[in-house]
Amino acid sequence: MIRLLRPFQNKSRLVLHRCEAPKTTTTQATTIPVPWNTRLRELSKQGQYQQSLTVYRKMLRSGAAPNAFTFPFTLKSCAALSIPITGTQLHSHVTKTGCLCEPFVLTALISMYAKCLLSEDAYKVFDENPLCKKLTVCYNALIAGYVQNSNLLNGVSLFCEMRRMGVSVNAVTMVGLASGCTNPLHMSLGMSLHCLSLKSGFDNDLAAENCLLSMYVKCESIQLARKLFGDIPGKGLITWNAMISGYAQNGLGTHALDLYYEMESSGISPNAVTFVGVLSSCANLGARRIGQEVEQKIWNLGLGFNLFLKNALINMHARCGNLVRARAIFDEMHEKSLVSWTAIIGGYGMHGQGDISVELFDEMIRTGIQPDGPVFVTVLSACSHAGLTNKGLGYFAAMQRDYGVKPSIEHYSCVVDLLGRAGRLEDARKLIDSMPVEPDGAVWGALLGACKIHKNVDLAELAFHEVVKLEPTNIGYYVLLSNMYTEAENLSGVLRIRLMMRERKLKKDPGCSYIEFKGKIHLFVAGDRSHSQSDEIHSMLSKLQDLIKELDGTKKYNDEKSDRELSSGVGVHSERLAIAFALLNTEIGVDILVIKNLRMCGDCHLFIKMVSKIVDRQFVVRDATRFHHFRGGACSCNDYW
DNA sequence: TTAGGGTTAG
């Protein structure tokens, strides 16, 4: 905490433009050769807020008096560091020096209180100073303050008052409000602001355009965002970044990567924010080689020390199958945030190494980091995949009791999954009944998935009944129950589900698998024959099939299954096509990473196990929920549909 | 006074 040691020895009237560092002989004052306000402005621009407050303290010690040009910078530092006590002290200095009549000081004060999450104090400054009610900048500061404190409604009321009072609205007013439109429910307000912006000519203001663009992204209207992006004539780095991360956040990884290449070819140099979006897309796509190239670029540009980027790199490597590299980056980090821990814990969890996830989680707690909701979701899921049922239940019990984190619906669905996978289906059902919140599709879906693993058709029917009420168009649940009926040889059940699907006009999502080869994504859907190497792929598959039959003396691999799947019209499963493609093209000795957008089925699981034995290579398949490592005829996991 | 970033179950 900064202590202001000797405030205001000099109460003489201040000359606003000339508050300079005095030519004194004191060591502290002479160590800063530039005028005080200039120095404060420089530090503020560089984001050296702590340093800026130290300079302010030195300034007071030296006997120099602060003026209206001093306070905006010091108040900004308090806001950035979120230290309201120092901010309040500065407020009293402002009053004593008579600077409360200066618009920029008033706005800085309002903004400081708002950023320190003290909207009431911000409002008090606004309310007690009649000048504020005439100034656009003061309204803007308070509106932005309300929005930053998640009070969009107050922001809107103030905006209405401002218009009623005849105070002019500018682009900053609009930006303050639009940045509060953070979910699809706010879309109509966001669009009204966009109209206002066009009518008022704010579309010449790049900050306003960028803000509207990210408003559309947050409201999940990615097409409107893209339309606006195309309409912005002088796109800046922030414009490109907003669109790239918009695509990344909305799961449109290929769009994000395409736009990144387009940005580079249009001569705009990327920065750390760009790479965060790009790495996040590589992680979601499983684009290992592109991710590695981007990492190299990050190091070449000297950006490798950015915490956000390191977290993004951990996530990218873990999701692209390179857990060793992810761990190395994590271990080398001097400063680790909660997100760094979450990324590495999740990485091990996805790879089925829940024991390490748990060790890391406990280590994180020992280092004094306060866990949040997402890290509990991550560790609970890791426990679930690794069969660490009691450990997971222990965390669930402790999260509110010991850490004050209230379980959300995501945590409940993890625990239903945890209990369900462990075969404790009745306990899972009881948990659903006792939940303080209404269960959603994910909760019932987790129970349904567990019923599939443990072949409990009765409970599956109940879970299915509930889940289709909540997610009637999610085809995965219909397919899952239909497969259960097939396994149980319940033909009338299969027909019933097919009828339901037909009545509801649901068509089976073909699902796809893909593999990155030479920086390009090769995508396959079931029964696909459109690939340029299709003939070679099918002949490779047929050879593999023969070898499997030869190898499988014990008839573990039942070729009737593949005949059934071929005759059902689904065609050859997409992951098999991707595996055959990889065997034809990738170098021997290199692990093969295949990404599948749906969960792997039992037939394919068995097929890849056998192939890994025949060709003696490691296959890493990432499906919708986790990694499966196949080596020498075995797999790291046993959970598939 | 204003705009862009990492982690999250099934």
What tens digit of pLDDT does each residue of A86-128 get? 999 999 999 999 999 999 999 999 999 999 989 999 999 999 9
Sign of the Cα torsion A144, A147, A151, A157 reads positive
Examine the domain organization and report whether A432 and A487 are in the same domain: yes
Q: Which nucleotide is the nearest neighbour of A76, by CA and C1'?
A: B1
Q: What share of chain A is helix, strand, coil (3-state, %, to 5)?
A: 65, 5, 30
Bases of chain B within 7 A of a CB of the protein: 1-10
Interatomic CA–C1' length for residue A380 and nucleotide B5, angstroms:
26
Q: How far is the CA of A634 from the C1' of B4 (A)?
A: 45
Tens digits of residue pLDDT in A306-341 = 999 999 999 999 999 999 999 999 999 998 999 999
Which of A503, A534, A563 is at the close of a domain? A503
Q: Give the whole-angstrom CA distance, residue A323 versus residue A330.
A: 10
CA pair distance A501, A562, nearest whole angstrom: 24
* Contact yes or no for A21/A42 (Cβ under 8 A): no
CA/C1' separation A1–B7 (Å): 30
Banded pLDDT at A556 (limits 50, 70, 90): low
Q: Which of the nucleotides lies closest to A309 (Cα–C1')?
A: B6
CB A141 within 8 A of CB A173: no
Checking A245-249 for CB contacts under 8 A at 24+ apart, the result is A245/A217, A245/A273, A245/A276, A245/A277, A245/A280, A246/A213, A246/A214, A246/A216, A246/A217, A246/A222, A247/A222, A247/A277, A247/A281, A248/A277, A248/A278, A248/A280, A248/A281, A248/A284, A249/A217, A249/A277, A249/A280
Q: A488 with A530, same domain?
A: no
Residues (406-425, chain A) with CB within 7 Å of strand B atoms: 409-410, 413-414, 417
A364 touches strand B (CB under 7 A): no
Please tell me whether residue A357 adopts helix, strand or coil conformation: helix
Q: Decide if A135 contacts A167 (C-beta within 8 A).
A: yes
Closest C1' nucleotide to A413's CA: B9
Distance A123 CA to B6 C1' (A): 34
Phi–psi pair at A222, nearest 5 degrees: -70, -30
Entry field: residues in chain A: 641
So what's the pLDDT on residue A14? 31
Stretch A56-72: mean pLDDT = 92
Distance measured from the CA of protein residue A347 to the C1' of nucleotide B10, in angstroms:
17
Strand B proximal residues, A:598-637, Cβ < 7 Å: 624-626
Total domains, chain A: 2
Same domain, A518 and A435: no
Q: Measuring from the CA of residue A408 to each C1', which nucleotide is nearest?
A: B9
Return d(Cα A567, Cα A563) in angstroms, integer: 6
Q: Is pLDDT of A71 > 60?
A: yes
Phi/psi of residue A634, each to 5°?
Answer: -130, 165
Strand B atom within 7 Å of A182 CB: no
Q: Is pLDDT at A24 greater than 80 in this prediction?
A: no
Percentage, residues of chain A above pLDDT 70? 91
Domain that holds residue A494: 421-503
A425 lies in the same domain as A491: yes
A462 belongs to a structural domain: yes
In a domain, A323, yes or no: no
- What's the token pair of residue A346? 């999740």
Query: Who contacts A637 (Cβ-Cβ below 8 Å, separation ≥6)?
Result: A352, A385, A626, A628, A629
CA atom of A463 to C1′ atom of B8, Å: 24
Give, in Å, how far the C1' of B9 lies from the CA of A386: 14
- Identify, with chain letter, the residue nearest to nucleotide B5 (CA–C1'): A273
- Is A628 a domain residue? yes
What sections of A403-440 are H helices per DSSP? 409-421, 425-434
Q: Stated in angstroms, how far is A71 CA from B5 C1'? A: 30
Nucleotide nearest to A445 (CA to C1'): B10
Say yes or no: Cβ of A428 under 7 A from any atom of strand B: no
Dist CA A94 CA A4 (whole Å): 14
Look at residue A567 and tell me whether its pLDDT is greater than 50.
no
> Within this chain, do residues A479 and A518 fall inside the same structural domain, yes or no?
no
Question: Does the CB of A386 fall within 7 Å of any strand B atom?
Answer: no
In this complex, the nucleotide whose C1' atom is nearest to the CA atom of residue A599 is B10
In a domain? residue A140: no
Question: The tokens of A630 are what?
Answer: 């196949």
Opening angle at CA A44, ends A40 and A50, nearest 5: 85
Inter-residue contact A20 to A36 (CB < 8 Å): yes
Is strand B less than 7 A from the beta carbon of A177? no
CA/C1' separation A71–B2 (Å): 20
CATH label of the domain that carries residue A451: 1.25.40.10
Do A544 and A523 sit in the same domain of this protein?
Answer: yes
> What's the CA A310/C1' B1 distance, rounded, in angstroms?
33
Q: Residue A213: which nucleotide is closest by CA–C1'?
A: B3
- Position A562 scores a pLDDT of 44
**Stated in angstroms, how far is A369 CA from B4 C1'?**
28
Nucleotide nearest to A347 (CA to C1'): B7
Nearest 5°: CA angle at A253, between A250 and A257? 130
Cβ distance A385 to A357 under 8 Å? no
Helices (H), A33-82: 36-46, 49-61, 71-81
The answer to whether residue A550 is domain-embedded is yes
Q: Is strand B less than 7 A from the beta carbon of A103? A: no
Q: Is the pLDDT of residue A493 over 60?
A: yes
Q: Which of A289, A178, A272 is nearest to A224 (CA)?
A: A178
Tell me the pLDDT tens digit for each residue of A244-291.
Answer: 999 999 999 999 999 999 999 999 999 999 999 999 999 999 999 899
Radius of gyration of chain A (CA): 30
How far is Cα A533 from Cα A521, in angstroms, rounded to an integer?
14
End of a domain among A503, A534, A555?
A503
Give yes or no for a contact between A162 and A133, defined as CB atoms under 8 angstroms apart.
no
For residue A411, which nucleotide's C1' is closest to its Cα? B9
Same domain, A523 and A599: yes
Are A530 and A583 contained in the same domain?
A: yes
Residue A55, in any domain of the structure: no
Residue A455 lies in a domain: yes
Do A169 and A159 meet the contact criterion of CB atoms below 8 Å apart? yes
pLDDT per position as a tens digit, A339-391: 999 999 999 999 999 999 999 999 999 999 999 999 999 999 999 999 999 99
pLDDT surpasses 70 at A565: no
- Closest nucleotide to residue A418 (Cα to C1')? B9
A576 and A465 within one domain: no
| CB within 8 Å of A546: residues ≥ 6 apart | none
Residues 184-223 of A with CB under 7 A from strand B: 205-208, 210-211, 214, 217
Q: In this structure, what token pair is assigned to residue A579?
A: 């595996």
A260, A315, A250, A307: which is closest to A288 by C-alpha?
A315
Give the span between the Cα atoms of A385 and A90, in whole angstroms. 53
pLDDT (0 to 100) of residue A15: 30
DSSP A513: E
Residue A314's alpha-carbon distances to A276, A308, A325, A336, A467, in angstroms, are 11, 10, 8, 12, 35
Which tens digit of pLDDT belongs to each residue from A436-465?
999 999 999 999 999 998 999 999 999 999
Q: Is the CB of A274 under 7 A from strand B?
A: yes
Tokens standing for A632?
């020498």
d(CA A112, CA A95): 15
Does A470 share its domain with A539? no
A242 in Cβ contact with A274 (< 8 Å):
no
Q: Of A503, A529, A564, which one is at a domain's C-terminal end?
A: A503
Q: With a 7 Å cutoff on the CB, does A60 touch strand B?
A: no
> What pLDDT shows up at residue A203?
85
Which of A179-183, A229-233, A520-524, A539-543 is the least confident region? Answer: A520-524
Q: Is the CB of A342 under 7 A from strand B?
A: yes
Q: What is the pLDDT of residue A325?
A: 95
pLDDT band at A29 (very low <50, low <70, confident <90, very high): very low
Residue A383 falls within a domain, yes or no?
A: no
What is the Cα–Cα distance from A91 to A84, expressed in whole angstroms?
A: 10
Based on the domain organization, do A498 and A549 belong to the same domain?
A: no
**pLDDT tens-digit readout, A613-629:** 998 888 999 998 889 99
Task: Say how far apart CA A291 and CA A637 lie, in whole Å.
Answer: 26
For residue A507, the one-letter residue type is K
Among all strands, which nt has the closest C1' to A144 (CA)? Answer: B1
- Model pLDDT, residue A517: 85
Residues A516 and A630 in one domain: yes
Average pLDDT over chain A, rounded to whole? 88
Mean pLDDT of A583-605: 85
Residue A612 CA to residue A635 CA, distance in Å, equals 9
Q: Which nucleotide is nearest to A417 (CA to C1')?
A: B10
Q: Is the CB of A77 under 7 A from strand B?
A: no
